[in-house]
Amino acid sequence: MSSPQHVLTAEHLRVGFRRRRRDPLFWALDDVSLAVPRGKTHGLVGESGSGKSTLAKAALGLLPVNEGRIRIADVEVTGTRSPDRRRLARHMQAVFQDATGSLNPSHTVGRSLAEPLLAQGRHDRSEVADAVRTGLERVGLDASAASRLPRHFSGGQRQRICIARALMTEPELLVCDEAVSALDLSVRAQVLNLLMDLQDESGLSYLFISHDMNVVERMCHDVTVLYRGQVMETGPTSAVTKTPAHPYTRALLLAAPVADPTRQVARRQLAVSQATSAAPAVIDQAAGCPYAVRCPFARAECATSRPTLRPVGSGVSVACHRYPEWRTEAAPINKEQS
């Protein structure tokens, strides 16, 4: 999968944690592979605890990887004891959900934006001041913001400041970990537009992490659906969201917020009623499909053997024993939405 066309390549990643010292490892990521092409957005979607941030942290070199490899541009993140952080920082930066916590409240915005440049050894004061000004304007803020403290800005503006700071070193890849999740809908739309404009202007790539399928649909060229650290489905976002190949992807689509509250209730009820209708009684989760206890389409084989990811056309791969049969048992998603 490694190629110069890809700014991030993750191959067969396994990252394990122990709940307590004597517990066996549990896999927060289990055989996860994905690649982010240059200038494109790859979405990582899944509910809380599915391993999204673990993948982001592993890519940033912040977590040891048990198996597999990650490469960012020409930097090997795994395999060495500590990846070359300065080289890594030139290729990749991150924006997180909590803009307030990400910015030092006692530093002016200008100082926060200057820090990544100073860390790279750029000390010419007027050059740094110019870069800060340009950085702020690039994200739609006035250059005068540089002299103010973070508390003088709204949540959306603070997230713009975080994006500006992340872009100061002109990385090729931005990891956005729930970067818009804390924002109101209208502000969220503005920040998503900003990210897309930045991509059009400078060919930036994104690893875009979200639990919201609506946001993923809007932003991402490709998407990987994670459940309990395993890839359930991956492929072009248009194909995955139009005709989901995995029951979990379908459940995420049904759970995505819709504007009409009546439709929202109907969709959630459908998701819940199907999720409780047909799950087999006994599941060996280590051996079987990780989604089997919740899957309305599960059969005996799902409880005993783990499905492997297999290509099913249109660039989509799915890990489900019962694809495509399960789809004949499910109401088409378009009908459910209307």
Q: Which residues would be at the binding site for ligand ATP (CB under 6 A)? A: 17, 28, 46, 48-54, 211
User: CB of residue 204 vs ligand SF4: minimum separation in angstroms?
Assistant: 34
d(CA 336, CA 338): 6
User: CB of residue 28 vs ligand SF4: minimum separation in angstroms?
Assistant: 20
User: CB of residue 272 vs ligand SF4: minimum separation in angstroms?
Assistant: 16
Count of other CB atoms within 10 angstroms of residue 122: 15
Helix (H, G, I), strand (E, B) or coil at 282: coil
Bridge partners (DSSP) of residue 67 are 14
Instruction: Find out whether 297 and 330 touch, Cβ atoms under 8 Å.
Output: yes
Q: What are phi and psi of 11, to 5 degrees?
A: -125, 120
Question: Which of the listed partners (Mg ion, ligand SF4, ligand ATP, none) does 117 bind, with a CB threshold of 5 to 8 Å by partner kind?
Answer: none
User: CB of residue 4 vs ligand ATP: minimum separation in angstroms?
Assistant: 29
> Per-residue string for binding with ligand SF4, 209-248, x by CB under 6 A?
-------------------------------------xx-
Q: Which is nearest to 228 in space by CA: 287, 295, 289, 303?
A: 289
**Exposure of 127 by Cβ count < 10 A (0-12 exposed, 13-18 middle, 19+ buried)?**
exposed
Question: Which of the listed partners (ligand SF4, ligand ATP, Mg ion, none) does 46 bind, with a CB threshold of 5 to 8 Å by partner kind?
Answer: ligand ATP
Q: Where in 278-307 is the site for ligand SF4 (CB under 6 A)?
A: 289, 291-292, 295, 297-298, 302, 307
Count of other CB atoms within 10 angstroms of residue 338: 6
Q: Where in 241-260 is the site for ligand SF4 (CB under 6 A)?
A: 246-247
d(CA 231, CA 226): 5
Nearer to ligand ATP, 175 or 319 (CB): 175
Count of positions (residues) in the chain:
338
Task: Using alpha carbons, list the distances in angstroms from residue 288 to 249, 293, 330.
Answer: 18, 10, 22
Question: Which of the listed partners (ligand SF4, Mg ion, ligand ATP, none) does 297 bind, with a CB threshold of 5 to 8 Å by partner kind?
Answer: ligand SF4
Question: Which of the listed partners (Mg ion, ligand SF4, ligand ATP, none) does 326 bind, with a CB threshold of 5 to 8 Å by partner kind?
Answer: ligand SF4
- Quick check: 322 binds ligand SF4 (CB under 6 A)? yes
Q: Kindly state the helix (H) or strand (E) to which residue 335 belongs, with its residue range.
A: helix 333-337
- Quick check: 53 binds Mg ion (CB under 5 A)? yes
Question: Which residues in this chain contact ligand SF4 in the complex, by CB under 6 A?
Answer: 246-247, 289, 291-292, 295, 297-298, 302, 307, 320-322, 326
